[in-house]
Amino acid sequence: MQGKRVTIRDIAERAGVSKSTVAYALKSSSQCAEETRKRIQRIATEMGYVANPLVAVHLSNVRRSESKSGYVATLAYLSDRPLKQMLAKDFTHKGAYEGARERANELGYKLEPFCYEEANLSWDRLKGILQSRGIHGVVIGPHRDSKVRLGMEWECFSTVLIGDSIAYPNYHNVGFDHLGNMELIFSRLRGSKVTRIGLAISGFIDNRVRYQFRSAFEFFRDELESATRIPVLVADRWERDVFLKWYSEYKPEVIVTVYDDVRRWLGSIGVQVPRDVGLVTPAVMADTLEYSGIHLPLTTLGRLAIDAVAAQLFRNEKGIPESRCVSLVVGEMWEGKTFRGD
């Protein structure tokens, strides 16, 4: 085979088996008998076979052909919310599930949601359910709380986390590049006439994103003239009076914030947005769709999570990784209606 790349077809012909059998053997799949698997792997080594990333396409086609006979490989989407809530129009993280489901279908998988907070559903029982259904890949969606610790140190699944809400276990993760997103915000603000820029967020949000909004804001704020720098407000008691005290003392021209509380509180004292003060958010949420700021493409995170799980399954990588990989996505700036920038 010198001078020619060894293919799955070449190995199949030498071993006297089908291409799909070779594909399963090379990824150490349990769908291939151990004796056959070892024989094929030995032949592949002797022939100088080097894995080709395009083999994944072949496996996708294998799954599609199997689906025609009634079988579709299934991935799990774990959430602390039932499916009805995840599909609600105003659900903040709806896009993550929809993106994951869309990408799973494209790759020939079925995506099945599981709400692990259902009554009497322990981690051991959930693990047993997934195994009994032949599920080997798991996506864990964003959660309502921050720094969540899950009791699922599962060595038998390929697993990926979406977002910043899960503190443990340390599976591979896809999330947003909050530093890059804050850089986009400051790039937009530099092109305007504003100089007094403030950050006002709750302690919950600060904790949830692991202090990335605050750290990134302070980094770029230090480029401003010292006389115009405004102290950051991170309030454990995220209340109207706490915010208005900070606003009255520092009078920012633009406020970087999350959720729509700030606009309501300003309105209660007659301050209008964007006439009197501009509002920009690093995370356009369901209740801030009119805001100027960063639109976070949750569907992209969902799709990337499925790609990451599929890649682990192809490489037969399971359990908590020794070296955790994090893929970051930069959002896009929306002009919105809360910042004029003139």
Instruction: Give the model confidence (pLDDT) of 240-299 as tens digits.
Output: 999 999 999 999 999 999 989 999 999 999 999 999 999 999 988 766 778 999 998 889
Regarding whether 229 and 289 lie in a shared domain, the answer is yes
pLDDT in tens, 186-216: 988 888 888 899 999 999 999 988 899 999 9
Number of structural domains found in the chain: 3
Q: Is the pLDDT of residue 70 over 60?
A: no
Contact predicate 169/150, CB 8 Å = yes
Residues 6+ apart with CB under 8 A from 289: none
Residue 337 lies in a domain: no
Range of the domain at 290: 178-295
In this prediction, residues 157-171 reach a mean pLDDT of 92
Regarding whether 307 and 287 lie in a shared domain, the answer is no
Residue 334 lies in a domain: no
Residue 155 lies in a domain: yes
Closest CA to 257 of 200, 204, 182: 200
Regarding whether 304 and 172 lie in a shared domain, the answer is yes
Closest CA to 12 of 34, 55, 43, 50: 43
Who has greater pLDDT, 42 or 88? 42
Residue 124 lies in a domain: yes
Regarding whether 270 and 133 lie in a shared domain, the answer is no
Residue 87 lies in a domain: yes
Closest CA to 154 of 339, 309, 334, 34: 309
Q: Is the pLDDT of residue 22 over 80?
A: yes
CATH number for the domain harbouring residue 157: 3.40.50.2300
Regarding whether 16 and 63 lie in a shared domain, the answer is yes
Q: Is the pLDDT of residue 152 over 90?
A: no
What pLDDT does residue 222 have? 87
Confidence grade of residue 56 (pLDDT, cut at 50, 70, 90): low
This prediction's pTM: 0.75
Closest CA to 149 of 171, 127, 126, 167: 167
**Phi and psi for 129 in degrees, rounded to 5?**
-65, -45
pLDDT in tens, 301-325: 999 999 999 999 988 899 999 899 9
